[in-house]
Amino acid sequence: MSETITLSELQIKRRELENELASLSQTEKMLESDLRTLEAKIIEQLKAEIETKRSALGGLESRKSNLEKKLSELQGKSAGSQTAEEQHVSGETAEPAQQNNTAENDTELTVVEYQQE
């Protein structure tokens, strides 16, 4: 009789372990499914952030292009007026003209620094 009880206890223990294994397998499948879902959500979020960043960069590139065009136009006007000044003040030394060029370069640097902000 002792063997029957022992066999019965072993069978009960085996069923408990099989149930636990089945439960763990089910939990594993649910966790893997959750992981796939989370990975997909992260991928979608990253794609959205990339699109937002690309859009912002497009706007900045457009703004940069417009400012470069404006700067080029201003430099063209400045070069034209500088040529007229040089013809008007042809008797002066070359040193003041170099100082004028330095002032123009300072203006260009200021514009470039402003673009970065």
pLDDT tens, per residue, the chain with 117 residues: 456 679 999 999 999 999 999 999 999 999 999 999 999 999 999 999 999 999 999 999 999 999 999 999 999 988 777 766 666 666 555 455 555 554 454 545 444 444 444
Q: In this structure, what DSSP letter does residue 117 have? A: -
Q: CA geometry: angle at 49 spanning 44 and 55, to 5°?
A: 125
Q: Read off the DSSP letter of residue 92.
A: S
CA angle 59–64–65, rounded 5-degree value: 100
pTM: 0.51
Is there a contact between 115 and 67 (Cβ–Cβ < 8 Å)?
yes
Give the C-alpha separation, 41 to 18, whole Å.
35
Q: pLDDT at position 5, please?
A: 73
Report the pLDDT value the prediction gives residue 15, as an integer from 0 to 100: 98
Domain ranges of the chain: 2-116
